Structure 1
Amino acid sequence: MAGIIQDWEPIVIRKKAPTAAARKDEKVVNAARRVGAEIETIKKSTAGTNKAAKSTTTLNTRKLDEDTENLSHEKVPTEMRKAVMQARMDKKLTQAQLAQMINEKPQTIQEYESGKAIPNQQIITKLERALGAKLRGKK
């Protein structure tokens, strides 16, 4: 093991020193405390965080906030879920086989057939191509 050199010098990592302005403010506050003056400090609510000063609501959030009647997402219509199930059965495919054909998870097919899925036009297009059936609009 000759020739192995190890350096065992400790490395000290320190927190960045406060800026000149911060040190000056700190000195003024400490001096006021020493003489017994009344000190009022204010903590900024977003200080030290990565949040913007103004509120950032997305378009969807705003829509849900403004909509007072219906606060749920759109689900797959009954006609579509029955059409998906019927077309899959006609082709003698399992949910897993159909999912593999369209490169989606079997759970996605299960959600579409149970009516729990939120409609996604890309997935519906893939299903239409794989099953050779029209799932949207008038038949």
Structure 2
Amino acid sequence: MAGIGHITQDWEPVVIRKKAPNAAAKKDEKAVNAARRSGAEIETLKKSTAGTNKAASSSTSLNTRKLDEETENLSHDRVPTELKKAIMQARMDKKLTQSQLAQMINEKPQVIQEYESGKAIPNQQIITKLERTLGAKLRGKK
């Protein structure tokens, strides 16, 4: 091994320390007493809702009670009978199937089927597309 030069070893001391105590160890009674003896600062906090589930239950009880007392049945608006019949009649006059009409307005055939059966929730954009494509006024004077 010619030309490498003088090889020396440089030894530096390695210091191994214990890990700092985690949060649970800091709360341990022995650790607190040891800190008191050594004169370290000790911080104590009293939590206002410690050990209770008050914060989680207080905000929902009022809403829960209101919902329990509610007697009104709420539901989405459905396609009116007049609109169902108008869509079907206009489609039949143009001699189109539900699938063909759906393709013309860039919607799924299921959408047309739901509108004609009355199960759909009315969407003004879809109704406007249907009116344009079928060339008929589907909405009444509302």
TM-score w.r.t. structure 1 length? 0.57
Residue segments in structure 1 that go unaligned for 5+ positions in a row: 1-19, 36-40, 45-53, 56-64
Percent identical across equivalent pairs?
Answer: 70
Give 1:132's aligned amino acid: G
Give 1:97's aligned amino acid: Q
Larger Rg: 2
Pair 1:30–1:98, CA change in 2 (3 A): same
Over the aligned positions, Cα root-mean-square deviation in angstroms equals 3.5
CA distance in 2, matches of 1:69, 1:112: 26
The answer to whether residue 32 in structure 2 is matched with residue 29 in structure 1 is: no
Residue segments in structure 2 that go unaligned for 5+ positions in a row: 1-19, 34-49, 54-58, 61-66
Count of aligned pairs: 95
CA distance in 1, matches of 2:112, 2:30: 69
TM-score w.r.t. structure 2 length? 0.56
1:76 CA displacement: 0.2
1:137 CA displacement: 1.6
> 1:50-89 counterparts in 2 under 5 A?
68-89=71-92
> 1:100-139 counterparts in 2 under 5 A?
100-138=103-141
